[in-house]
Amino acid sequence: MKYVKAFVSEISWDCSWYCSAMQERRNEDRQKEEEERILQANNRRFNSLFEYPDNSIKTSKYGFFNFLPMNLFEQFQRLANAYFLILLFLQLVPQISSLAWYTTVIPLIVVLSITGVKDAIDDVVKWLPGLPSLDLKRHRSDQQINNRSVSILVNGRVEEIKWRNVQVGDIIKLENNHPVTADMLLLSSSEPYGLTYIETADLDGETNLKVKQAISVTSAMEDNLELLSSFNGEVRCDPPNNKLDKFSGTLSYLGNTYLLNHERLLLRGCVIRNTDWCYGLVVYTGQDTKLMQNSGRSTFKRTHIDHLMNVLVVWIFMFLGGMCFLLSIGHGIWENSRGYYFQAFLPWKHYITSSATSSALIFWSYFIVLNTMVPISLYVSVEIIRLGNSYYINWDRKMFYAPKNMPAQARTTTLNEELGQVQYVFSDKTGTLTENVMIFNKCSINGKTYGYSYDDNGEYVPKSPKDKVDFSYNHLADPKFSFYDKTLVEAVKSEDPLVYLFFLCLSLCHTVMSEEKVEGELVYQAQSPDEGALVTATRNFGFVFCSRTPETITVIEMGKIRVYRLLAILDFSNERKRMSVIVRTPEDRVMLFCKGADTIIYELLHPSCASLSEVTMDHLDLLGATAIEDKLQRGVPETIVTLSKAKIKIWVLTGDKQETAVNIAYSCRIFKDEMDGVFMVEGTDRETVLEELRTARKKMKPESLLESDPINMYLARKPKMPFKSLDEVANGNYGLVISGYSLAYALEGSLEFELLRTACMCKGVVCCRMTPLQKAQVVDLVKRYKKVVTLAIGDGANDISMIKAAHIGVGISNQEGMQATLSSDFSFCQFHFLQRLLLVHGRLSYNRMCKFLSYFFYKNFAFTLVHFWYAFFNGFSAQTVYDIWFITFYNLIYTSLPVLGLSLFEKDVNETWSLCYPELYEPGQHNLYFNKKEFVKCLLHGIYNSFVLFFVPMGTVFNSERNDGKDISDFQSFSLLVQTTLIGVMTMQIALRTTSWTMINHTFTWGSLGLYFCILILLCSDGLCLRYPSIFNFLGVARNSLSQPQIWLCLILSTILCMIPLIGYNFLRPLLWPINADKVLNRIHFCLKHPIPTQVQTKIKHPSLRRSAYAFSHKQGFGALITSGKTLKSSALAKSKRFL
């Protein structure tokens, strides 16, 4: 029979814990020293000699005492903050201070405070996903985990203690459905032979049950507290490591030594299932557990724009230093040539002995005057913009998942614009791309397909709830099971012989174990979720698997108890890809039932040359085929197609088996039938892997293997130098599949670059059978060699490492809980929300941030460089052009709101067009809207505007008179004219850059202009100037100057001259140097003249090729365990009768 499966489970582990760098370093140093772990049961005094860590974990970044120093340290990593701190100290020196010290210290304190509060909110007020009403914070989450209760054996008694207090060498008791507290050696359990069933979904992503077994010498203790308390065995084992499937050691007890392996070890993150109780000896605690060793190191994530801003700040420092040096030289020349004549009016201070000394002091004075070249309010504004765009994500109703009443969450506010630059997405599979719910969908029996819904005329109709088959006649049916084809039920009731045999095969050929948790209610425990789905389906159709013993299988067939004698089980394995059972029926007939992958079964049905096989095959009949589906989440194929159009490459990193992963890749449209080829890398040694990678690259791009290839030439010259690899384009569309075993070799040494070059040429990549650490290594490989932004998305704890390793981590909040979400930067419930996160929120955030930075740098260059031109007219004396209050308010009040309005409400196109035309996403991937080139343009634009803003007002007031004949060519009138013209020009510049006007934009833009005039009139009022003449010294200047027509004519002329270059550039650039996004925007603007079309829904072409996704079990099934007799607990026949 054929077994088709679309998805297999790969859930994850709850390890979002954060460890500070210092703590991690201490742990690493200690582990390097620890070559072998030694511990003794029930002997805390002995174990304390080795200073093993306690069992507490920490998910928060800051604590009460370390918040201030750590946060300040992080903030002063920004060069601009460090610059203003140095500037503050310079302003305290009276010999060089040209501005009051409070003009720097107040803005600096405001900036540090706002950023500190935001960082504290990021770290502390992070609600646990799925529990918003509880308002649980990260620190409270830490406390809840560390303060969970666990039973520990103390002096012959079982006592309750907190998880945090568990120590190495303790013996703890766990009960059914309890999570494992720490990595512990299994001693005994309630099951026969010391067996314990566990679920490892939080470790390896597999939902099927695993079996662990205690060694015989300790399993005999059972739950005898006296024996367990007197147990003093000594364990010597491996030091802490991140290998989930590796553990070796010895147990010395009563003079004997027993070997230990990973089959005896229960890992933290597992959950006890189907076992009443078990006892274990704690081996690893806290940060030493394998779960925490795989969690990856938390890094302080900064965006590419943050790093670019640090580089630009260095450039500004150099430019500022050059200007100060030039102006100090000018001051020295002026002092030597003309300054002597002014000393009668402005004598030198006593500490100035020469023009050289004066020039040196003027250098630092101008360093202070021109400090606004690096505006401190830049960082406050950036944080506010990021915070606002984060709230847009939280408030997006189209990313709200109603079934779980859960919105999308921006769990950090520092990475918003990075969402608009993603080029590589690394995705988990099960639970991320799929729903992780196995469904018996269809079947084919004797060539007839069942599973479609038909009307009374026999015509196919879409499935609807009213067409659901009623299984009420079967009191043993699972009420959660749904099927929509009534003809199959009729065939069962009519006792069709082939249908009967089909369901008999499914009810007998498996290794499922049954459990009666509530009397009369059966619960199945399967090695794989799809095997469980098959047995549940047969149960609903009247073939109820009831129980088993090592020799028998009991089935209730259409209400009758039938006991089959089990003669043999040929268990499933990855090599055989099938399983078989041989049974003797109650009628004494021997039958063999087999099920497996369709490709394997079809090969068996083919005539064979071997005579023995011919005899067997002559009696082997094909009963039918089943279709088990782990449904894709809604919109996954469409989302991947859309992201591909945005030139985002998607790699699937999964711990699942290869057949299932490849099948999913085709279902999701990561792989397509029309591809030129899909390469399989399955080598088991370094040489084979290298040959397979190069063979693939030779087919995709033969010239990449030649010595003349630019990358090969660079590697030949500088083989050990780190570099960013260029994009290579393959001669066609290809895919790549590589297993975790091969990946272990491919990630070593020089092979990692071979892997990178081959994989990056492919349209889609699937890595299967991966460990959590390998996922992080693959992400890190791309980060190191490619100048791109990476995003990792997953739903479980085995995805934590790659989520932390990527530039952006996204957690899926699904039925597996909060494992990945707690360590993510963004979280939501469905994969298809990713396209809105990137193409809508990410793109808008990037565009807004780029517009903000371009305008912010420009307006401060124009503002500051006026001082440079003024220096040539004031003897290079470091005198300021503006009133000191204008300098204080320029960035904080006058120009802050308009640019914030632009950065929070700007939209070049609405979200519908962003999704319809993914090509609009491309500029962010190549950082076209703000880079070093754009920064130079801002500088040149600012220099030109500052020239206009100085010399046009200078020409206006020079030797000018009022209507009444009074002179207005004084410094105060000139200063007011320059600053008023500056504000007018900045207002028109922001208006020209705004494409989406809202009432808020209008209020901020024009309101700020009006606010300037209101404050100006207030600062020049008689009341303030007469009461505080030393602080407010522009008495009546506004009233006298603004009443003159030449002032307004100057304002208009300056504005026009400053606007002409920007208008001309915006008009010519799309015509002369267009990018793809410009062409798309032109099409959109054309479409806006017509009714807006509905959003294009990508039609998904289903793969035409038949593929098997048979994945009964990730590992060996329960076959050997069943036949050994170790699972026998009660009479199977007596249990069966209870259900009748």
Measure the CA–CA gap between 282 and 235, rounded to whole angstroms.
10
Residue carrying structure tokens 């504005």: 1055
Q: Please state the φ and ψ torsions of residue 241, each to the nearest 5 degrees.
A: -150, 175
Q: d(Cα 528, Cα 511) in Å, to the nearest integer? A: 10
Which two structure tokens, joined as six digits, stand for 1059?
Answer: 């606007």
Sign for the pseudo-dihedral over CA of 882, 888, 893, 896:
positive
**Strand pairing category for 590-596 and 624-632:** unpaired
Q: Is 428 a catalytic residue?
A: yes
3-state class of 939 per DSSP?
Answer: helix
- Token reading at 436: 């992780």
Q: What residue spans of 225-337 are helical by DSSP H?
A: 225-230, 290-293, 304-334
Q: Are 979 and 866 in contact (CB under 8 A)?
A: no
Which residue matches tokens 């305290």? 92
Give the amino acid at 105. V
Q: Which helix (H) or strand (E) holds 238?
A: none
> Judging by DSSP bridges, how do beta strands 434-445 and 624-632 pair with one another?
antiparallel
Please check whether residue 987 is in contact with residue 898, taking contact to mean a CB–CB distance below 8 angstroms.
Answer: yes
Question: Which is catalytic among the residues 428, 795, 825, 883?
Answer: 428
Report the alpha-carbon distance of residue 303 to residue 316 in Å, rounded.
20
Cβ count within 10 A of residue 436: 26
Q: Which of 293, 252, 284 is nearest to 265 (CA)?
A: 284
| Separation CA 34–CA 659 (nearest Å) | 41
DSSP-derived secondary structure letter, 1086: H
Cβ-in-10-Å burial (0-12, 13-18, 19+) of 575 comes to exposed
Task: Tell me the DSSP string of 513-578.
Answer: EEEEEETTEEEEE-SSHHHHHHHHHHHHTTEEEEEE-SSEEEEEETTEEEEEEEEEEE---TTT-E
Q: How far apart are CA 509 and CA 570, in angstroms?
A: 10
Among candidates 201, 408, 247, 386, which has minimal Cα distance to 303? 386
Q: At what angle do helices 79-91 and 102-124 cross, to 10 degrees?
A: 150
Give the number of C-alpha atoms closer than 13 A to the C-alpha of residue 11, restricted to the C-beta side. Answer: 25
* Torsion of Cα atoms, 478 then 482 then 483 then 488, to 10°: 10
Structural tokens at position 51:
């200073």
* DSSP track, 645-684: HTT-EEEEE-SS-HHHHHHHHHHTTSS-TTSSEEEEE--S
Do the Cβ atoms of 860 and 373 come closer than 8 Å?
Answer: yes
β-sheet bridge partners, residue 280: 172, 186
The first and second tokens of residue 1053, run together, are 């002329």
Taking the CA atoms of residue 461, residue 467, residue 468 and residue 471 in that order, the dihedral angle to the nearest 10 degrees is -130
Residue 1026, Cβ density class (10 Å: 0-12 exposed, 13-18 middle, ≥19 buried): exposed
Quickly tell me which residue has 């640090």 as its tokens: 310
For residues 711 and 727, the answer to whether their CB atoms sit within 8 Å is: no
CA 904/CA 101 separation, integer angstroms: 32
Q: In what side-by-side order are the strands of the sheet with 277-284?
A: 157-162, 149-154, 171-175, 277-284, 183-189, 265-266
| Token pair listed for 326 | 């030039």
The residues assigned a catalytic role are 428
